[in-house]
Amino acid sequence: MFFAIIKRGGAGDLLYQVQAAFKTYGNCLTSQLVSPGSASKLRRKCSEEETSVLMIERHLKEQGMPEIVEIPAVWLQGSACSGCVVTLLNSFSPGASSIVLRELAAGKHLSIRFLATAMAGSGAKVLDVLHDETVKDKGKYVLVMDGSLPVAGDMFATLGEQDGQERPVRDVAAELARDSALVVAMGTCSAYGGIPAGAPNPTGAISMPELLAREGISTPIVNIPGCPPHPDWFVGTLVATAMHGLEHVASRLDEISRPLDYYGKQIHETCPRRADFDAARFARKFGDAGCLYELGCKGPVTYADCPTRMWNSGTNWCVGAGSPCHGCVEPGFPDDLSPLYRKIEEERLARFQVLGDQGAE
């Protein structure tokens, strides 16, 4: 919330006081996590700085500053490559720092309380933060699940310990999902199982929706597949949730719980090489002009807005770079869509039938 205050609190000495107080307070909290040995002295210092921040906040409220609503979020990782975290950090508009430090939507601030890959602290201290924050915000927080959940044994994908034993992340995910307001399955591994669940699947990896069904958890879930997903797909979904509520977002999902605003149109229909397909002008080797269908393009069975949104701040996308679409947002990825560079066998794909344009108006 304090970052939102910095943005909207006005100019002059007060703004500098807010910035300085919060910077010092933030450094104190980080130091406690990194250097717990000097905790007593640090706690006293942090308490003083927290008091300063709270006093400034109270003053701003007295001046008529509107309340900023916090949207708490925790981000867990299972069997994953960290690509989904990297894609969040690559968000362009808004940038990653703006997502964390500023309002996500008018009067709404996304407060990411736990994200192991991108946070400074580690070990028992941050796991205490994860526990305390989710208990405090029970029924209010968003759980972002990144990666699949192994169920073939307790040695795969663990997070912390319980009674001296490593705790499988599937148990943590189920516990947090049960008490969350919304679950976001970030990436294909979380949404469908993805590469970790590919044959022969030695870890027994399952998707987050499968885990919820297995545990009898009815918390609403939104799938944001992709290997990795485009950052806009994740950020845009959270913005829509903040602005319009869960019911609106739920009404805009396809039959496999993906937002239609991003996954509502077939890549084949919006691909700039569609005219080559219609004219039967097919590339015979990589680097040739023409449609890449004969070289394994999965655009005819893939639903996403990659051709129009593009990646790396709108710079390019797979087909634009001369590569076939691999269909990474689809439930059959990778097994049903392999070999990646061989012409697709339509009869193997349950979703090959065109669903029609269901995208954003």
Alpha-carbon span 337 to 314, nearest angstrom:
26
Alpha-carbon span 282 to 305, nearest angstrom:
22
Q: What angle in degrees, to the nearest 10, is found between the helix axes of 124-136 and 13-34?
A: 120
Catalytic site residue 28?
no
Catalytic residue among 28, 230, 291, 326: 291
Catalytic residue among 28, 189, 230, 244: 189
CA distances (Å), origin 171, targets 12, 49, 84, 113, 168: 49, 37, 21, 19, 6
- Position of tokens 């709270």? 54
Residue 251, strand partner residues: none
Q: Which amino acid is at 360?
A: A
Catalytic residue among 109, 230, 297, 326: 297
- Position of tokens 């989710």? 134
Catalytic site residue 46?
no
Catalytic residue among 84, 109, 230, 326: 84
What is the end-to-end Cα distance of the chain in Å, rounded?
33
- Tell me which residue of 148, 137, 94 sits closest to 114, measured CA to CA: 137
CA 180 to chain centroid, in Å, comes to 15
Catalytic residue among 28, 46, 230, 325: 325
Catalytic residue among 28, 227, 230, 326: 227
Q: Which residues are catalytic?
A: 81, 84, 189, 227, 268, 271, 291, 297, 306, 318, 325, 328
